[in-house]
Structure 1
Amino acid sequence: MGGGRATSLGPVSDVELPEAFAQVLAAYERHLLSERDLTSHTVRAYLGDLTSLLEHAQRLGVDDLAELDLTVLRSWLAKQKTLGKARTTMARRATAARVFTAWLCRTGRIPSDPGAALLSPKMAKTLPPVLRADEARALLEPAPAPDEREESAPVALRDDAILELLYATGMRVGELCGLDLDDLDFDRRVVRVFGKGRKERTIPFGVPASEALRGWLALGRPELRAEGSGAALFLGVRGGRIDQRAVRSLVHRRMREVPGAPDIGPHGLRHSAATHLLEGGADLRSVQEVLGHASLATTQLYTHISSERLRAAYQQAHPRA
């Protein structure tokens, strides 16, 4: 996957950078695509941020990367704040700058790494709403079985299998859309997933997900399969690999059918799965492995949700709360 993507994504700004800056950005783009194996969307976001940084440096009179110091980096982030950029955007841009300057230093293009001392804006650690266990059960009730002759029958089987697998594994929507047929192992009831940076992990799934997947593969997928289906596990109505937009629409549509449930998408379903695992007694390290988090600190956010639920239940039920 990495080698096939190592092509230029085209210009990300109308401003013409000095040739030296443009050449460095081109080399960095190749590094992100071929060595770090990032998606074209992520690479374009990084390049947009760095183009903005280098344009700002140019306006400050910097025409040599060796002059790119911490003052320039902080000045650039301060400019983003005056433009009303959200904290999430500023945090992403700070990360992009740090990773870029570390690469510049590592490859000998600058003598020292100014980004090592650059701090990101503090982010509020919030997570989207999560389902209660009874709401999750209601969501996963199979759609009313359509007549086998109806065109909607294979789609209903596919949708049930998608929802079961998302909740069973907590995988990201992009990971689900990228699944192939040989990623499933029904004997061990596990699925192989390629996460961020193409990191591979294996996630178990339960009997309900297994049954839904078998139904889709036996009765649904053959009806939607087309010449261009390839090995994709989940197909769209035209036979191609299903896309993330279709999966998001599916989750939101089915959530509206659950009385009182929050309007969450696939990411909220992922959070629900993680929260229910922890509430059911799973240890934090195991949940980290299931979710594919690089840092345990990210997984620890879910303990906050569980604590808040416990506090709410206590206050509601205890006579001397």
Structure 2
Amino acid sequence: MTTAEGVQAPVQDELQTTAPGRLMGEYLQHMLVERGLSANTLAAYRRDLLRYQRFLAAQDAHLIEGVTRQLVSAFAQGLATGADGQAPLSPRSAARTVVAVRGFHRFLALEGTTATDPAEDVHPPVAGQRLPKAISVDEVTRILEAVDTSTPAGLRDRALLEFLYSTGARISEAVGLDVDDVSVDEVLEGPAVVRLFGKGSKERLVPLGSYAARAMDAYLVRSRPSLAATATAKNSTPALFLNLRGGRLSRQSAWSILKTAAERAHVSGEVSPHTLRHSFATHLLQGGADVRVVQELLGHASVTTTQVYTLVTADTLREVYAAAHPRAL
């Protein structure tokens, strides 16, 4: 787990240049220690607040007490167009940035650092809804079967991709797993249940399908021991998925594994680890799964986040209807 000490130094190095920046460093430290944010979420907040710090400096707002609602609103309105003097952001990125700024000012007000919260009534721009991209069951199957399992690395790759599609795990959750998070006995006997640790270190249990369980069994018995043997005593790790040096597999390497398999399977378009997660959810709903069950499996805090997948399946229903019904068109 990322420690407070491990994050504090780089945050303060870049934010200590101004008084507001130092307070932003304190806020990020609070979010790490008290809220348990993941390293990825914390890094995103840090980028957003650095942008806000540069904006305040450009406006000669050197003291946080001098920040007004009008100033925060001007910053928020300029994110999408670059009117804040920096590169334009997409609607979603702009919305996330405003959320980070609102959280920062709310923190200062609750701590008594400032008497008021100038960002309280500033709202993020409405982001357009973007449907998640899913691929067909046939395309998923082709990708999984395109992996060459004649080598230890190939057995690992097949187990990883089967795992991602079987559980709907985020790539960070998969590469963050340790061997103890998957019971070998359960994998052999089935059906296995895997512990996943999502955003904010929230734990959830997800079943592991039979195809993934067999691939995991082959990896654990025939591949992982040889990969682990390449590690030095210093680099020894309990990680479930190992790289060729016996260390924990990185997210970048996992992405490359999927990209290579997709190319071999001649699956066109952008295919990422998140594509398998989207496909997992979409195929479950198409098969009749309840949206709240899918919500639990994905680890979404709100069912509203999961309901976007129902729009995907509705589009599929319309396409099938238009193609099959004699009086649809």
Corresponding letter in the other structure for 2:24:
L
Out of 101, 113, 116, the residue aligned to residue 112 of structure 1 is 116
Q: Which residue of 1 aligns with 2:37?
A: 38
Partners of 2:152 and 2:203 in 1: how far apart? 29
Does the 8 Å CA contact 1:12/1:51 hold for their aligned counterparts?
no
TM-score of the superposed pair, with normalisation by structure 1: 0.89
Partners of 2:50 and 2:155 in 1: how far apart? 46
TM-score of the superposed pair, with normalisation by structure 2: 0.87
Q: Secondary structure at the match of 1:117?
A: coil
Q: Percent identity?
A: 36
Partners of 1:81 and 1:145 in 2: how far apart? 47
Higher mean C-alpha displacement, 129-138 vs 177-186: 129-138
Q: Which residue of 2 aligns with 1:87?
A: 91
Does the 8 Å CA contact 1:12/1:44 hold for their aligned counterparts?
no
User: Taking structure 1 as reference, are residues 108 and 272 closer, same or farther at Cα in structure 2, changes over 3 Å only?
Assistant: same
Partners of 1:29 and 1:172 in 2: how far apart? 24
Does the 8 Å CA contact 1:256/1:263 hold for their aligned counterparts?
no
Q: Secondary structure at the match of 2:244?
A: coil
Q: Which residue of 2 aligns with 1:212?
A: 215
Corresponding letter in the other structure for 2:193:
V
1:251 and 2:255 are equivalent in the alignment: no
User: Taking structure 1 as reference, are residues 295 and 69 closer, same or farther at Cα in structure 2, changes over 3 Å only?
Assistant: farther
Give the deviation of 1:234 after TM superposition: 0.3
User: Taking structure 1 as reference, are residues 195 and 130 closer, same or farther at Cα in structure 2, changes over 3 Å only?
Assistant: same
Q: Which residue of 2 aligns with 1:7?
A: 8
C-alpha distance after superposition, 1:149-207 (max 9, x if no partner): xxxx1011101100110000101000001000010132551111111111111111111
Corresponding letter in the other structure for 1:32:
M
Gaps of 5+ in 2: 83-87
Partners of 2:179 and 2:220 in 1: how far apart? 9
Q: Which residue of 2 aligns with 1:268?
A: 275
Partners of 1:245 and 1:36 in 2: how far apart? 27
C-alpha distance after superposition, 1:92-113 (max 9, x if no partner): 2111111112211222222333
Corresponding letter in the other structure for 1:139:
I
Matches within 5 A, 1:164-179: 164-179=162-177
User: Taking structure 1 as reference, are residues 144 and 63 closer, same or farther at Cα in structure 2, changes over 3 Å only?
Assistant: closer
Out of 159, 162, 167, the residue aligned to residue 161 of structure 1 is 159
Q: Which residue of 2 aligns with 1:201?
A: 204
Partners of 2:248 and 2:99 in 1: how far apart? 32
Q: Secondary structure at the match of 1:7?
A: helix
User: Taking structure 1 as reference, are residues 49 and 129 closer, same or farther at Cα in structure 2, changes over 3 Å only?
Assistant: closer
Question: RMSD over aligned Cα, in angstroms?
Answer: 2.2
Matches within 5 A, 1:91-170: 91-141=95-145, 143-146=147-150, 153-170=151-168
C-alpha distance after superposition, 1:219-259 (max 9, x if no partner): 00011112323210000111110001111111111112334
Q: Which residue of 2 aligns with 1:73?
A: 72
Count of matched residue positions in the alignment of Structure 1 and Structure 2: 313
Partners of 2:299 and 2:175 in 1: how far apart? 16
Give the deviation of 1:45 after TM superposition: 3.2
Partners of 1:196 and 1:280 in 2: how far apart? 27
Partners of 2:316 and 2:206 in 1: how far apart? 26
Partners of 1:111 and 1:300 in 2: how far apart? 40
User: Taking structure 1 as reference, are residues 216 and 75 closer, same or farther at Cα in structure 2, changes over 3 Å only?
Assistant: same
User: Taking structure 1 as reference, are residues 108 and 2 closer, same or farther at Cα in structure 2, changes over 3 Å only?
Assistant: farther
User: Taking structure 1 as reference, are residues 28 and 145 closer, same or farther at Cα in structure 2, changes over 3 Å only?
Assistant: closer
Partners of 1:103 and 1:15 in 2: how far apart? 18
Q: Which residue of 2 aligns with 1:51?
A: 50
Partners of 1:196 and 1:169 in 2: how far apart? 16
1:312 and 2:322 are equivalent in the alignment: no
Gaps of 5+ in 1: 147-152
Does the 8 Å CA contact 2:11/2:46 hold for their aligned counterparts?
no
Give the deviation of 1:318 after TM superposition: 1.2
Give the deviation of 1:24 after TM superposition: 1.5
Q: Secondary structure at the match of 1:256?
A: helix
Q: Which residue of 1 aligns with 2:85?
A: none
Give the deviation of 1:85 after TM superposition: 2.6
Partners of 2:70 and 2:242 in 1: how far apart? 50
1:17 and 2:13 are equivalent in the alignment: no
Partners of 1:312 and 1:12 in 2: how far apart? 54
Partners of 2:280 and 2:42 in 1: how far apart? 29
